[in-house]
A and B are shown apart, each in its own frame.
Chain A
Amino acid sequence: MRMLRRFLKRLSSWTKIQQNEERLRAEIEEHLAFQTAENVRAGLSAAEARRQAVLKFGAVEAIREGYRDQRGFPFLETLIRDTRHALRGLRKAPAFTATTILTLALGIGATTSIFTLVHAVLLKSLPVANPGELYRLGKEARCCYWGGYSLEKEFSLVSYDLYKHFRDNTRGFAELAAFQAGQSLFGVKRAGRAEPAQSYPGEFVSGNYFTMFGIRAYAGRTFTANDDRAGAPPVTVMSYRLWQQRYGGDPSVIGSIFNLNEKPFTVVGIAPPGFFGDRLRSDPPDFFLPLNTEPFVDAADPDLNKHDLHWLDLIGRIRPGAKPASMEAEMRVELKQWLRSHWGEMSANDRAKFPHQTLFLRPGGAGISSMREEYEHWLQILMMVSGFVLLIVCANVANLMLVRGMERRRQISLSMALGAQAPRLVRQALTECIMLSLSGGAAGLAIAFAGTHLILHFAFPQVNGMAGIPIDASPSMPVLLFAFGVSLLTGIAFGIAPAWMATRVDPIEALRGASRSTARTGSRARKTLVVVQAALSLVLLSASGLLTAALHKLESQNFGFDQDRRLVANISPMLAGYRAEQLTPLYQRIHDSLSSIPGVSAVALCIYSPLDDNNWSTDIWVDGRPAPGPNDDNSASWDRVTAGYFEVIGNPILRGRSISEQDTATSRHVAVVNEAFARKFFKDEDPIGKHFGQNGVGSEREYEIVGIAKDARYLHSGLGKPVGPLFFLPEAQHDVFPADKSNEASPGSHFLHDIVIVTRPGASLSDAQLSRAMASVDPNLPVISIRTLKEQVAFQFTQQRLIARLTSFFGILSLVLASIGLYGVTAYNAGCRTNEIGVRIALGANRSHIVTLVLRGAFGLIFFGLLIGLPLTFAAGRFLGSQLYGLNPYNPAVTLIAVVALGLSALAAALIPAFRASSISPLEALRAE
């Protein structure tokens, strides 16, 4: 009640400030008159009586201030007054202001731009209704197909049959949707148009996918349960992006027929803008298709009704009040029931692993977080690095503020002598700092926007016509808040100490003239800041050195194949509607057509060329050995290639022979294995002439090993580790086991993706020449992309390169900032010692002695910086750990280079003030105040 009354009073008195000032003035005057009269009665002279009265009354200004604090809103008024004061002060020092704001903008910009990525990748939920109600199956994200009735660790992917079992039996879900874990490229063509097919990513989803997410169509409609039924007319939903960019938002797209892989689909609706599917990824789907159209599209090898092929992710919306923990337990029971119902089809190993099969239900508001897992550590590193840069920026600005504080000592002393209160002065200085940091923050936002754009551009290079990564570089609300918070924090962090120190001046001492005093207030604080800066930038420099060295080691390693003069073109015969039996002649035609281009020396095709970052893994059975038990690892990756492939890719055959023209459909089935395969499965034995198979018991004599190829790297994952086992099969040969050809284990493996072309030395080959040659084979077979093998290899290191470059950029930035800081401190200290130096010179010290004197001071700081920085550097190396791909984090060369770089720039920063000090004229120095 009293508070309210005071508030109202304050409000009313605020409106009559003038009146109040007048009242106080009158009251003071009355008071003094009373006291003077009293003093006169006591026998003092009139003048003395007045003086005594004033003395007794106390400092009028301070009292007036206390009085003002009791009425109106002093905080607000002071704030306005301080702001005005700070603005005036800053306008008077444009160089200082500009430097500070720029430095701050760099620090805040760097941090904010990294935070934008952290927010988008690690923190943000999917843009769907009530993401908090969504739960997903599985702890970790898996791709793309897993087979069998037992999965390692957890069932995070499920088959269509298992999905239906969960959907129909788990009551806690309001909706449970399933969708493809991987995604497919589709050859897309609008029916009735004479345009070549273009490839866009698409995803098979269950009929309730959009309902589950609470997503409504932007135009037309989304799917209903009726669309996802065997035999339903095939329909699709198109992304808003494609609709706008490719078809200009043409309303007639809705309802019209599009051919996806030569199969007609009716577009029934457009997904809303901003919806990018069930997970954040660099190539979000442009087409959504009902699960039940999968056999229609992929008639050759449909996956939908294979009960033991797990290729679907699950996300469900739970009913209000449902308990996810009990739902998880319920679903574990359902999983066991389902496995039991397939007992007859299970292999002995599957049965042995049955007791360990389990699943997990986890919050799914962020979708399937494959990107999160992939980038988490990188983003943490970047966040740390940019945090360090921000710290250095703070230290630097604090230094600038300290200098400014020193220069204003006289002014502050004067204010204090006139009765200004210390807290007020601190508040004033703080206001200035916060204003600077907020302006720095605003400028930093602009830098962050540009920076995020640049990082996204380099991290996720956009492929022609495809959607880019759905991360918006423009700052969102949380990012804005973050930048504001960081600015405020930095403002307080770098402002409070200098502000406090500025008020600890002894007015008399300050007014007498600081330059003569030998004690330099605040010089220890400034030195500490420089030491911290030196230490931090050493850490950043060596971190960037380590990452760059690791990248260099990655890129320059021997991959086991030739990169020079080699091109890789991607095709997709499946998209063009080819059937399995047409493939071998097609490849022959492609080979002949491309070989006839002048300048081409050899051509071969394969599913996976080296380092295109894909892989097909399988379990193998070696002839003459017992069947592998449940805990035996008998996995290997494989590839299917045409004749002459090893010669084309430059992968040497160490023993035996390579795959050649003599390996035809009717000849003996052969395989070439790599060294790792030979080591893993044959140890000391000679693998040549041995047999193995990949289609389970009975297939052991399927392939005969005819050659051993040198280990070549095909996979990007596990770059720091040795190459894994790999075997190669001729394209022309089809597995004969099981004897029933319709059940051939992997007919899809005959759809080769990559054409590898070797050009003659000195010859150049244009994309147009290639496209023409391909068009002469089949104009409907689109070439998806053409790049050199070098580019393909370099592409694998995009991330590493980006991180190394960013860290280097931050490292150099921090070095520059630390040098500026050191320069400032050295120059200031030398300036303070002008007198002393003048005396020394007058007493016969020579110039080089003075230079040494100043340099010694500067290098003392750097030395302490190294002392603190070196242990931190090793800690940073440990933190980088796995990102160094086996490079030793205690790398003396990198540390040495970082130390030398720091030393050199320190030398450069200290030499200028040192020379300036040594050229002081003793006369002038002594004369100077």
Chain B
Amino acid sequence: MKEKTDVLQGTLALMALKTLDVLGPLHGYGIARRIEQISGDLLTVNQGTLYPVLLKLEQEGSIASEWGVSENNRKARFYRLTRDGRKQLQAETRGWEQTAAIIGRFFAAKAEDLK
């Protein structure tokens, strides 16, 4: 069994927001699929876990949803990013980049740098 990486609380939400930002309105399955593809199967998460996250985002006003028809003519619920959501995404992206940069610098540091 491949080692799973636990999804940090809130990370899934950020991934969902980014997916919607890049791809525009999408249904739940589509979002799940993209997250899976991009994380390259390193991140194994039950797809169902996504739905409570979507509901939470919707309640916070970051995304909105409505019933529509999918590319293969199925009825599906489509989610799209709202203005608030876009702002939230930008803010959180900056936050992540900073964190990642800091952690990265730590990993790059050699013993002599820390003296």
Contacts and interface: CB of A to CB of B under 8 A. Distances in A.
Interface of A: 2, 5-6, 9-10, 13, 23-24, 26-28, 30-31, 33-35, 37, 56-60, 63, 66-67, 69-71
B29 A67 contact: no
Interface residues of B, number: 23
B74 A33 contact: yes
Main secondary structure of the interface of B (DSSP, over half): helix
Interface stretch (B16-24, B47-55, B90-98, B99-107): B47-55
A674 B53 CA distance: 92
Interface in B73-96: 74-77
Interface in B34-73: 46-49, 51-52, 55-56, 58-61, 70, 72
B29 A70 contact: no
Given A70-B56, A71-B59, A31 B32 contact: yes
By Cβ-Cβ distance, the 5 closest A-B pairs, closest first, are: A58-B46, A63-B48, A66-B52, A34-B29, A9-B59
Contacts of B32: 31
A2 B51 CA distance: 20
Contacts of A57: 46-48
A67 B54 CA distance: 9
A71 B76 CA distance: 21
Contacts, number: 72
Contacts of B75: 26, 30
A63 B46 contact: yes
Q: Which of A28, A35, A57 counts the most chain B CB atoms within 10 A?
A: A57
A30 B52 contact: no
A498 to B, nearest CB: 30
Given A5-B59, A30-B28, A71-B55, A56 B49 contact: no
A37 B76 CA distance: 14
21 contacts: A5-B60, A5-B61, A6-B59, A10-B59, A23-B77, A24-B51, A26-B75, A27-B77, A28-B51, A30-B77, A31-B28, A31-B48, A34-B29, A34-B74, A35-B29, A57-B46, A57-B47, A66-B49, A67-B55, A71-B55, A71-B59
A2 B57 CA distance: 11
Contact of B60 (A6, A23, A30, A35): A6
Given A30-B29, A34-B74, 18 more contacts: A5-B59, A24-B51, A27-B77, A28-B51, A30-B28, A30-B75, A31-B29, A31-B32, A33-B74, A34-B70, A37-B72, A57-B46, A57-B48, A63-B49, A63-B51, A63-B52, A67-B55, A69-B52
Contacts of A28: 48, 51
A27 B75 CA distance: 9
A710 B74 CA distance: 112
A71 B48 CA distance: 16
Contact of B47 (A9, A10, A23, A35): A35
Interface of B: 27-30, 32, 46-49, 51-52, 55-56, 58-61, 70, 72, 74-77
B28 A58 contact: no
Contacts of A35: 29, 47
Contacts of B70: 34
Nearest to A20: B55
B74 to A, nearest CB: 6
A69 B59 CA distance: 12
Contacts of A69: 52
A37 B52 CA distance: 24
A59 B56 CA distance: 19
Contacts of A13: 59
Contacts of B56: 70
A58 B59 contact: no
B89 to A, nearest CB: 14
A60 B29 contact: no
Contacts of A70: 52, 55-56, 59
B55 A58 contact: no
Contacts of B72: 37
Contact of A59 (B27, B46, B77): B46
Contacts of B48: 28, 31, 57-60, 63
Contact of A56 (B30, B47, B60, B74): B47
Contacts of B49: 58, 63, 66
A21 to B, nearest CB: 12
A34 B77 CA distance: 12
A67 B49 CA distance: 9
A30 B27 contact: yes
B46 A56 contact: yes
Contacts of B51: 24, 27-28, 63, 66-67
Contact of A31 (B47, B55, B59, B61): B47
Nearest to A56: B47
Contacts of A24: 51
A27 B58 CA distance: 15
Nearest to B77: A27
Nearest to B75: A30
A693 B12 CA distance: 99
B57 to A, nearest CB: 9
Contacts of A59: 46, 48
Contacts of B27: 30, 34
A718 B86 CA distance: 84
Contacts of B47: 31, 35, 56-58
A647 to B, nearest CB: 93
Contacts of B55: 67, 70-71
B46 A30 contact: no
Q: Which of B52, B60, B70, B72 counts the most chain A CB atoms within 10 A?
A: B52
B61 A30 contact: no
Contacts of A34: 27, 29-30, 70, 74, 76
Nearest to B84: A2
A433 B70 CA distance: 50
Contacts of A63: 46, 48-49, 51-52
Nearest to A71: B55
A798 B70 CA distance: 88
Contacts of A2: 60-61
Contacts of B77: 23, 26-27, 30
A821 B74 CA distance: 64
Nearest to B45: A58
Contacts of A33: 74
A198 B4 CA distance: 92
B28 to A, nearest CB: 6
A33 B47 CA distance: 13
A603 to B, nearest CB: 92
Contacts of A9: 58-59
A68 to B, nearest CB: 8
A19 to B, nearest CB: 13
A563 B42 CA distance: 96
A165 B57 CA distance: 77
A34 to B, nearest CB: 4
Contacts of B59: 5-6, 9-10, 13, 70-71
B28 A67 contact: no
A5 B85 CA distance: 14
A625 B72 CA distance: 124
A435 to B, nearest CB: 29
A69 B51 CA distance: 11
A20 to B, nearest CB: 8
Nearest to B57: A70
A2 B60 CA distance: 6
A56 B45 CA distance: 8
A59 B48 CA distance: 8
A436 B112 CA distance: 64
Nearest to A67: B52
A211 to B, nearest CB: 62
B11 to A, nearest CB: 16
